[in-house]
Amino acid sequence: MKVAVLDDYQRVALSHPYWATLPADVSVVPFHDHVPAADLPALLEPFDVVVAMRERTALPGSLLAGLPRLKLIVTAGMANAAIDLAAARARGITVCGTASASTSTVELTWALLLALVRGVPAADASLRNGKWQTDSLPGADLAESTLGVIGLGRLGSKVAAVARAFGMRVIAWSENLTAERAAECDAELVTRDVLLSTSDIVTVHVRLSDRTRGLMGAAELAAMKPTAYLVNTSRGPIVDERALIDALNEGRIAGAGLDVYDLEPLPAGHPLLSTPNTVLTPHLGYATLGTLDLFFREIVADIAAFHAGEPIRVIG
């Protein structure tokens, strides 16, 4: 059995000890660079198993149709919108997942938010260039400011809890959010218009779907206060990227902290890389020691169970 581990950007996959527990006839090959879609059929043709690190690489039906040896896909997490589950089922390909960490993305959300409102990257660069408070404006205060949370699910509710520790008012909206759920999270349910027009910081925590794609478009960005910040650690296409770039370049919002993008990896020369008042990270939300250890432990367990003829954590 040959196993391909895709998008091992930080070259950590094989550093985890769990692979050694697999039977001797299982070989594992990590790929450290993102593979273009056109190259995937030839690359993956010899493999029986593909490990997908979240949604870094799409596995559509057109690709699966050209991989007759493929029998198992294992994804980090129990949901992966980049895998065509229907096509996999039709071809007899089993898809399995893992548990997901509940705090790593929440922590990165706050890292981005704090760096953004206090101007940490610019201040760090200025200090290293021999200057002292001369290249940066005073940062914003969180205490008594308003955090608008779009989506109060597993992650959004934890972000809201941290906001309370900073003494922030928390308001929330999503299409199916109830007042009862908001109250459970010590937040106030408001309309989308009220959230956008009154929040000092808007943070996005909904899943990408046809319903949420472009949820933060030009009109929504225009409804935000010019002093407000946007943070997105969910999925890039939830925010209209072109509209966000324009809003930032024209100073219509104060700044943005982003971990996710329409196209990943973000290509060299992308307009966001030169957009002012941004803090950008390369989709690190779940890339922590603890989360990756959880992922690889359960990925290996999924492969071992399938090898033994008893698949576990089957998706779909």
- Report domain extents, the chain: 2-101+288-307, 104-280
Question: Would you place residue 135 in the very low, low, confident or very high pLDDT band (cuts 50, 70, 90)?
Answer: confident
Whether the per-residue pLDDT at 44 is higher than 80: the answer is yes
> For the segment 250-259, what is each residue's pLDDT rounded down to a tens digit?
999 999 999 9
Q: What is the mean pLDDT of the chain?
A: 96
Question: Would you place residue 187 in the very low, low, confident or very high pLDDT band (cuts 50, 70, 90)?
Answer: very high
pLDDT (0 to 100) of residue 25: 96
Domain 104-280 sits in which CATH superfamily?
NAD(P)-binding Rossmann-like Domain (3.40.50.720)
Question: Would you place residue 260 in the very low, low, confident or very high pLDDT band (cuts 50, 70, 90)?
Answer: very high
Q: Report which of residues 138 and 105 the model is more confident about.
A: 105
What dotted CATH number matches 2-101+288-307?
A: 3.40.50.720
> For the segment 5-41, what is each residue's pLDDT rounded down to a tens digit?
999 999 999 999 999 999 999 999 999 999 999 999 9
Token pair for 188: 């106030």
> For the segment 190-231, what is each residue's pLDDT rounded down to a tens digit?
999 999 999 999 999 999 999 999 999 999 999 999 999 999
Beta-bridge partner residues of 141: none
Question: Would you place residue 100 in the very low, low, confident or very high pLDDT band (cuts 50, 70, 90)?
Answer: confident
Whether the per-residue pLDDT at 78 is higher than 80: the answer is yes
Same fold, 2-101+288-307 and 104-280: yes
- The catalytic residue positions are 235, 264, 283
In one-letter notation, the amino acid at residue 11 is: R
Whether the per-residue pLDDT at 155 is higher than 80: the answer is yes
Claim: this prediction has a pTM higher than 0.85: yes
Q: If you average pLDDT over residues 87-113, what whole number do you get?
A: 95
